[in-house]
Chain A
């Protein structure tokens, strides 16, 4: 499964939690939340701060700390063609997968939003692959992509196309990873869209049926406008998730050929845990985090404008 966090209604939750308490305010009540807060500060806030500090240091896993280097790590990063390539690969991957997740997820949710047994069975089919670990998923797909014996080669061989080998193709390596990723976790957008569809009051559909509105018209005038907020949420969530591409690339292509499918997280992993340059890897992490925030904010504000227009 991915590192997905289902989006919770953040704004509303904050307001409601302020009103929701019962009884008098008391310091003792803080003890309920204290254990979690301690864990969150110790294992997220402190590492965040430490990571920012590390990114300005010459810190080697074996050689230890060799003092501050100001912006050297960042300067070196942006002078490294491989790192710049990983940014391009990551952005390309996000552009390939996010629309696919939204479109296929929406299609599945709309067609499988029913109470019949076949709806339930098909929903289970599309969700099932997302419970598998990245190791199992990549193992399955490496076998599927095998040039001579793989399922893909067997199928294309039937129509006379031989020598299919996406994993070692500079052009097709990244799309091949994108296909695996969409196959793996299409269940997440589908589920989020289904949850949104079930919030639409059935009376609206009954009224549309009385007006003999066509299926297409119902979809365009009722269904899509009702869930446009969810479309934005899913798009933002997928952008954030797909920026984190790592295991699929590491285990299917190893980033190759010629770095054409190496994502940013793999670069962080390799510079930090293979080359042991922790300061440098920490700087790359900050760049990743900043890019993710920017991409999510851009998508969010675009979606909002469209929603209001």
Chain B
């Protein structure tokens, strides 16, 4: 009997019907709450929601290579920047809809990841070396974009505001971006759910655990990792496109800043690597930590201090992430 698994092949497996019911109830409640939420909030509240789902979608996208494939990429911001630049550039200089730019970004990000991945996986850059190699890629892109005037140099590319813009220009009130990031997050959650129960996900889990065993099961580790890397990169590009429209400019210092490079990793790690809900939970929690502590405003910079503390405390308390903790708790009660 096959039971759908909501996480990467790893499961504590409570009885299937109960599990499925829980999942459906959770999802319906989540979607309903998420759709209604902005109506009940002021402008600042909506900005917080945008931030939560921006990080949730971005980190879910990283989760494919970092969590499911277990390859700790620090180059994810590069593919995000590719998406942002592709749409900003084609809109600014060719007058094309950012939707065209979005598609172009997905394509370019996929090709870039394929080229980079072909090198790093072929020469077996593993663990720390993979992290450094991908970080280098993102740094090279940052320096390149900052120095090539064709891409706006270090000043970047401003995105002009169009009066009475049609929806194809992706220019909305903040609440519009909230719904876009929400939709993107849901799409990526669905993608991750599919990965977790598919052959692709199972084989990724084997490669993540032990490449020697993977080979005995007929899996070619480097090509499987490459596929995960390309897929992960392609999903980063739309996040970049939408974020660029939201902030109305692109520039290397923001889109490839060190904090962007690092922060995309954190929600997935805190929430639970290789899980569908982990990055979303992590993004919500971390955004709320920053927001709530900055409203306390004890001292300037206090919120960053609190954020830093959260980053240290959570992995100590729940090393495997928050979502696995909740899932195991429910599974135990179900027995």
Binding between chains A and B: no
